[in-house]
Structure 1
Amino acid sequence: MASLKDIKKRISSVKNTQQITKAMKMVAAAKLRRAQDAAVSARPYAEKLHAVMSSLAQREEGDEHALLNQRGTGRALVVLMTADRGLCGGFNANVSKEAERFIRSNEQGFDDIDLMIIGRKGRDFLRNRVGQHITKVHEDITSDATYKTAQLIGQEIVETYSEEKYDAVYVIYNAFKSAIEQIVTTERVLPIQANPGEEIEGDSVDYIYEPNRNEVLGQLLPKLVEVQIFRGLLESNASEQGARMSSMDSASRNAAEMIGKLTLQYNRARQAAITKELMEIISGAESIK
């Protein structure tokens, strides 16, 4: 049985841990509001731009622009978005497992799949599982994602696809639904294509390009990739803060429960020690008589 000193030490240790988890919950809650607003605000623009580009893809031939060219199932790139820090429940593990499943199952039948990871936790999780597929890792950009960051990553993706290093590009991230629920999402970024079954608005009318078709496509299509990457980063950041807030709240409640059990154990041990001392005193007094 643990001594009173050991139990008291454990209670003090758990209380210190509880203070840390409460502080982390408050920080995550403060960050969540801003991250949630940013993610929600970006959705209408990203969805509308994707709808316009999907409609455009149905009207154009694949050879009009490299990003519209359907090349088959040669080599694919998967962009995985995770966090740089842990203590956020299953946030990192869930999305990393989906990337591992995507690579191992290879349902699309690609000859090879490369993996670009955003966030240290995704790299740590997959390094010993599918490490041979990891080609690049971006760190320290998820907590404060800006459009400039997404633009650089998007330009890198567009460049490699235009050079025909890849035949398809996918992005895997946690879409934000609420502070306690994140949805693991897999989207195909390239080649740009129309959504299945989507009707073209104004089908009888064709677009008029100004100044010309090639210049308009050259500006808008890469922009769509950048916006999709930016939206994924915002959704992932909001999901991370929500998952961390929920996880730290659960940890704080578990710590409170543990403190209660340890306090009860301490009081029982203290009562037993006092009773033992009284019995010894009474026995000594009886032996003197």
Structure 2
Amino acid sequence: MAALKDIKIKITGVKKTQQITKAMNMVAAAKLRGAQARMEDFRPYADKFRAVMGDLAGGASSNAFPLMAVREVRKVLLVLISSDRGLCGAFNTNLIHTAEKFLAAQEEQGREVALVCVGRKGAAYFGKSRFPVVSKTIDVMGNVQMFNARQVAQEVIRLFLEEAADEVHLLFSRFVNPAVQRPTVQRLLPITSEGLGEGGGEEGPAAAYTYEPEPERILNQLMPMYVNVQLMHAMLETAASEQGARMTAMDNATRACKDMIDSLSLVYNKARQAAITTELMDIVGGAEALKG
């Protein structure tokens, strides 16, 4: 009977865990709708901003703008955007592994590397690693705001202008659908026309724009804003990816709990049947002994 009681306690515990994972799945699904809507509304703006900057940068002299200065790459800065909370499967692990591969590849080329971490999980991991973390921003991924992205952008721009970094790369999770999130690395600084025109989603020849005032004056205002926008876009993509990964992870956990309950119920029924059979045999044996 002790074995039956232990099995019954396990079944009760797994059922309670199943209730928790199911509730977390529903909460993540609700948060995903809001995060995905914000991300999808912002994505066309970020892509178009990127395309316009590519057009402007293509006709400007890189020597006139500090954020366009192309230097010999000796120091590389990686801006890693992860989540502040766990329970989202391999979401943060994939980002961290991608960051480690990128940093190791840069070191193999003889370059110094450093990190700016946005999100508690990435900051906690790399805070104990051999890669230096020069700045970290935590507790902002639950409700991403433009001023959060602006603060990170100001720090990144300062490090680039002070030549603490010759190149700045951005690592975030691109949202594809609730089940698929792809770690993505893109260069943030220096700003050049190479690759900036991609991602707009338009086909056909590029349009010819007339700018007033001249592109050089516009670029002075747009370059810091461009860094803000790209960081905001990356943070929104990562926030939506986090909720999608958490929803998928909790759904898998709920199914695993159901399978475990079914398995434990089968073991419980077998043990109960064995106990009943043993008791019947004892009763029959006692009755036969009385007859004798």
TM-score by length of 1: 0.93
Alpha-carbon distance in structure 1 between the residues aligned to 2:248 and 2:2: 33
2:184 is aligned with 1:185: yes
Alpha-carbon distance in structure 2 between the residues aligned to 1:80 and 1:64: 29
Q: Report the equivalent of 2:152.
A: 153
Alpha-carbon distance in structure 2 between the residues aligned to 1:188 and 1:45: 18
Deviation at 1:75, TM superposition (A): 1.1
Q: Report the equivalent of 2:53.
A: 53
Deviations 1:172-229 (A, max 9, x none): 0100010000011001010011135968642xx764426x834x32210000000000
Alpha-carbon distance in structure 1 between the residues aligned to 2:96 and 2:31: 23
Asked whether the equivalents of residues 73 and 108 of structure 1 are also in contact (C-alpha less than 8 Å), the reply is: no
Q: Secondary structure of the equivalent of 1:79?
A: strand
Q: Report the equivalent of 2:239.
A: 237
Q: Secondary structure of the equivalent of 1:3?
A: helix
5 Å-filtered alignment, 1:54-69, equals 54-69=54-69
Identity %: 42
Count, aligned residues: 284
- 1:162 partner amino acid: L
- 1:229 partner amino acid: L
Q: Report the equivalent of 2:287.
A: 285
Q: Secondary structure of the equivalent of 1:116?
A: strand
Which of 209, 213, 216 does residue 213 from structure 1 map onto? 216
Asked whether the equivalents of residues 36 and 240 of structure 2 are also in contact (C-alpha less than 8 Å), the reply is: yes
Q: Which runs of 5 or more residues in structure 1 are unaligned?
A: none
Alignment root-mean-square deviation, CA: 2.0
Alpha-carbon distance in structure 2 between the residues aligned to 1:213 and 1:81: 31
Does 100-109 or 165-174 show the bigger shift? 100-109
Alpha-carbon distance in structure 2 between the residues aligned to 1:91 and 1:112: 27
Deviations 1:212-250 (A, max 9, x none): 834x32210000000000000000000000000001001
Q: Secondary structure of the equivalent of 2:130?
A: helix
Q: Which runs of 5 or more residues in structure 2 are unaligned?
A: 198-204
Asked whether the equivalents of residues 56 and 219 of structure 2 are also in contact (C-alpha less than 8 Å), the reply is: no
Alpha-carbon distance in structure 2 between the residues aligned to 1:287 and 1:206: 109
Alpha-carbon distance in structure 1 between the residues aligned to 2:74 and 2:156: 16
Asked whether the equivalents of residues 21 and 248 of structure 1 are also in contact (C-alpha less than 8 Å), the reply is: yes
Q: Report the equivalent of 1:27.
A: 27
Asked whether the equivalents of residues 126 and 132 of structure 2 are also in contact (C-alpha less than 8 Å), the reply is: no
Q: Report the equivalent of 2:38.
A: 38
- 2:81 partner amino acid: M
Alpha-carbon distance in structure 1 between the residues aligned to 2:22 and 2:78: 36
Alpha-carbon distance in structure 2 between the residues aligned to 1:206 and 1:158: 28
Q: Secondary structure of the equivalent of 1:132?
A: coil
Structure 1 residues 244, 18: closer, same or farther in 2, change over 3 A? same
Alpha-carbon distance in structure 1 between the residues aligned to 2:228 and 2:108: 24
Deviations 1:129-175 (A, max 9, x none): x4332222211011111011111111221122122221111110100
Q: Secondary structure of the equivalent of 1:106?
A: helix
Alpha-carbon distance in structure 2 between the residues aligned to 1:165 and 1:200: 36
Does 70-79 or 246-255 show the bigger shift? 70-79
Asked whether the equivalents of residues 18 and 252 of structure 1 are also in contact (C-alpha less than 8 Å), the reply is: yes
Does 132-141 or 176-185 show the bigger shift? 132-141
Alpha-carbon distance in structure 1 between the residues aligned to 2:154 and 2:283: 83
Deviation at 1:107, TM superposition (A): 7.6
Q: Report the equivalent of 1:226.
A: 228
Alpha-carbon distance in structure 1 between the residues aligned to 2:76 and 2:210: 32
Asked whether the equivalents of residues 53 and 196 of structure 2 are also in contact (C-alpha less than 8 Å), the reply is: no
